[in-house]
């Protein structure tokens, strides 16, 4: 063994040293001989030399989205896709993530994970959450594949612009409610405030009105955050005037509304009376008559769309009906009230114009436990259910179709029936006792068979219990 080591030392060290000196000083023949010896030594040395490392294959790492914009505290998913140079996905590879502020930024935000593993599509994702910033700053999100298993490393960077979160605002519009005569004008003022109640100046406010005229459709807030407009009324009704700030990169949008009642002098007393009656009736029946619905009712009255308002009760077993409002062209009669069964209302009008009839029903007429089974018919045909209060108070928005809506209170209900046109119309509110039967001869026969089977089963003698044998 020691002899072999000496031979290798001689071949590797001494002979190359001699050959490197002699090949430059000897004759041509000597040089050739020494070169031949070099080749022979190389053949002996090569078995002890490690094989060359195969070249690594290149990889490509891409981020989606490559750039993004977020506000303070917002989050976004960033996905890395790792492929080889041919575009084939690389699964099971570790992707390392990092995030740093750039251009003098301080806060970088956070990543949901520092390392992720690619799936079968070569994809791995993290959730990035932006920092809370007072001014706009940039951060860089970097994904890195360090390489391995014959693949070279690669990396990719996405840039994120983080902006401060918009500041909330509010609009204060005055007056919130007002009554004017047709043709009169009124000044509306609005103030734009930030979340701390400070005025916001030099911002546009957009005005809109359901009816009437506005002196401008847009205004700019002054140093106190205020903008004004002049509203001039036209036709009778209750109309909404809206002021809107649509927001910008610094402030969030906001909106405020004012409700203006436009009515002739001769209608004012009537409106007050109907309002008081509706409010009182809603209180007695504990019906949730919200302010918005009350405004809609008043507007329907002023626009001539409200036909009548009735209240039906039973006192000492005797039905009693009270009319709190009846349109000048409308005549309402109640020929039939059967406790727990049916209310029939006949409505006539001098014109064909559609109107809505409001019928308040005390729970002495229909028990509340059975209200869900009520049916409302117009001229013998079941009416359609309206979408909401606004829908049922507009008798012209559904063509020739009659609609109804029921508001349920603790002590009664309010039934609104929209009649799209007039001749003589009959409204029937049918209680659960009078609901038509759905039984047919076939169903009756089947039911008899079922009853007989139940009886046979019930009276069938039970088998005697077995006594164990000792």
In tens, the pLDDT along 372-424 reads: 678 899 999 999 888 887 888 888 777 778 999 888 877 788 898 999 888 88
Report pLDDT for 277.
Answer: 66
What confidence tier does 37 reach under pLDDT thresholds 50, 70, 90? low
Q: Give dist(CA 62, CA 49) in Å, integer.
A: 40
Cβ burial of 71 (10 Å; 0-12, 13-18, 19+) is middle
| Structure token digits, residue 104 | 């003098």
Under the banding of pLDDT at 50, 70 and 90, the label for residue 180 is confident
3-state secondary structure of 12: helix
Gap between the Cα atoms of 72 and 136, Å rounded: 9
Q: How far is CA 121 from its chain centroid? A: 32
230 has which bridge partners? 187
Q: Which residues, including other chains, have CB under 8 Å from residue 376's CB and lie 6 or more apart?
A: 382, 383, 404, 406, 415, 417, 427, 428, 429, 430
Gap between the Cα atoms of 129 and 276, Å rounded: 55
Backbone angles phi, psi at 316, to 5 degrees: 55, 35
Lowest mean pLDDT across 64-73, 171-180, 281-290, 393-402: 281-290
Residue 378's pLDDT is 93
Q: Where are the domains of the chain?
A: 10-48, 59-163, 169-262, 265-434
Beta strands 381-382 and 123-129, pairing class: unpaired
Mean pLDDT to the nearest integer, 340-356 = 89
- What are the start-end ranges of the E strands in 130-236? 137-145, 154-163, 169-174, 177-180, 185-194, 204-209, 213-214, 218-220, 226-232
Fold category of 59-163 in CATH: Immunoglobulin-like (2.60.40)
Structure confidence at residue 363 as a pLDDT band (50, 70, 90): confident
Top pLDDT among 405 and 24 is at: 405
Q: How far is CA 127 from CA 58, 141, 399, 424, in A?
A: 27, 11, 53, 67
Please report the pLDDT score of residue 428 as a whole number: 92
Buried b / exposed e along 200-233 (16+ C-beta atoms within 10 A): beebebebebebbebeeeebebeeebbbebebbb
| CA nearest neighbour of 91 among 151, 45, 32 | 151
The least confident of 31-45, 56-70, 119-133, 380-394 is 31-45
Bigger pLDDT: 171 vs 8: 171
The pLDDT, as a whole number, for residue 436 is 41
- Alpha-carbon distance of 152 to 41, in angstroms, equals 36
Look at 337 and 20; give whichever has higher pLDDT. 337
* Cα separation, 460 vs 357, whole angstroms: 59
Is CATH 3.30.450 what the domain over 265-434 is classified as, yes or no?
no
What pLDDT score does 46 carry?
57
CATH number of the 169-262 domain = 2.60.40.10
Check pLDDT > 50 for residue 456.
no
pLDDT range class, residue 222, cuts 50, 70, 90: very high
C-alpha angle with apex 364: 359 to 367, nearest 5 degrees? 90
pLDDT score at 412: 82
Q: What residues form DSSP beta bridges with 204?
A: 220
Confidence class of residue 296 from pLDDT cuts 50, 70 and 90?
A: confident
Give helix 28-45 / helix 15-22 axis angle, nearest 10°. Answer: 150
pTM: 0.48
Position 440 scores a pLDDT of: 37
pLDDT at 468 (0 to 100) = 42
Instruction: Find the mean pLDDT for residues 234-261.
Output: 89
How many Å apart are CA 347 and CA 259, to the nearest integer? Answer: 31
Return the higher-pLDDT residue of 41 and 148.
148
| Summary mean pLDDT of the chain | 80
> Would you say residue 458 has pLDDT above 60?
no
Q: Edge-to-edge strand order for the sheet containing 177-180? A: 177-180, 254-262, 237-245, 204-209, 218-220
- Arithmetic mean of pLDDT, 11-34: 48
At 97-135, the pLDDT tens digits run 999 998 877 789 999 999 999 999 999 999 999 999 988
- What is the predicted pLDDT for the residue at 27? 46
pLDDT at 162 over 80: yes
Q: Are 169-262 and 265-434 in the same CATH fold?
A: yes
């Amino acid at each position: 063994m020691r002899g072999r080591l000496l031979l290798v030392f001689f071949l590797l060290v001494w002979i190359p040293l001699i050959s490197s000196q002699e090949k430059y000083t000897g004759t041509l023949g000597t040089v050739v001989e020494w070169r031949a010896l070099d080749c022979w030594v190389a053949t002996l040395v090569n078995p002890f030399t490690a094989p060359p490392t195969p070249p690594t294959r290149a990889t490509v790492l891409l981020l989606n989205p490559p750039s993004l914009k977020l506000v303070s505290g917002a989050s976004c998913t960033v996905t890395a896709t790792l492929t080889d140079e041919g575009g084939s996905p690389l699964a099971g590879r570790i992707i390392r993530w990092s995030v740093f502020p750039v251009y003098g930024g301080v806060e970088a935000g956070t990543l949901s994970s520092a390392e992720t593993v690619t799936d079968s599509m070569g994809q791995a994702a993290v959730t990035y959450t932006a920092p809370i910033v007072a001014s706009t700053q940039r951060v860089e999100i970097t994904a890195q594949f360090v390489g391995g298993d014959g693949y070279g490393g690669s990396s990719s960077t996405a840039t994120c612009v983080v902006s401060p979160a918009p500041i909330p605002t509010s609009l204060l519009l005055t007056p919130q409610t007002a009554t004017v005569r047709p043709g009169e004008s009124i000044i509306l003022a609005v103030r734009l405030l930030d979340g701390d109640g400070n005025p916001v100046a030099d911002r546009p406010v957009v005005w809109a009105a359901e009816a009437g005229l506005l002196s401008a459709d847009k205004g700019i807030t002054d140093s106190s955050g205020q903008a004004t407009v002049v509203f001039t009324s036209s036709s009778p009704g209750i109309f909404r005037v809206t002021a809107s700030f649509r927001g910008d990169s610094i402030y969030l949008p906001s909106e405020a509304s004012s409700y203006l009642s436009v009515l002739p002098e001769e209608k004012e007393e009537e409106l007050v009376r109907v309002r008081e009656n509706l409010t009182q009736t809603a209180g007695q029946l504990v019906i949730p008559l919200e302010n918005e619905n009350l405004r809609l009712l008043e507007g329907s009255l002023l626009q001539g769309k409200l036909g009548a308002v009735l209240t039906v009760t039973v006192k000492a077993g005797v039905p009693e009906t009270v009319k709190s409002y009846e349109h000048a062209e409308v005549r309402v009669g109640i020929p039939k009230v059967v406790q727990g069964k049916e209310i029939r209302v006949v409505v006539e009008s001098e014109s064909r114009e559609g109107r809505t009839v409001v019928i308040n029903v005390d729970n002495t007429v229909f028990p509340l436990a059975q209200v869900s089974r009520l049916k409302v018919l117009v001229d013998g045909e079941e009416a359609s259910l309206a979408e909401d209060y606004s829908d049922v108070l507009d008798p012209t928005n559904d063509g020739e179709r009659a609609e109804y809506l029921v508001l349920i209170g603790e002590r009664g209900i309010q039934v609104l029936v929209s009649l799209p046109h007039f001749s003589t119309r009959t409204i029937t509110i049918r209680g659960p006792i009078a609901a038509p039967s759905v039984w047919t001869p076939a169903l009756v026969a089947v039911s008899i068979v079922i009853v007989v089977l139940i009886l046979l089963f019930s009276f069938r003698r039970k088998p005697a219990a077995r006594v164990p044998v000792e």
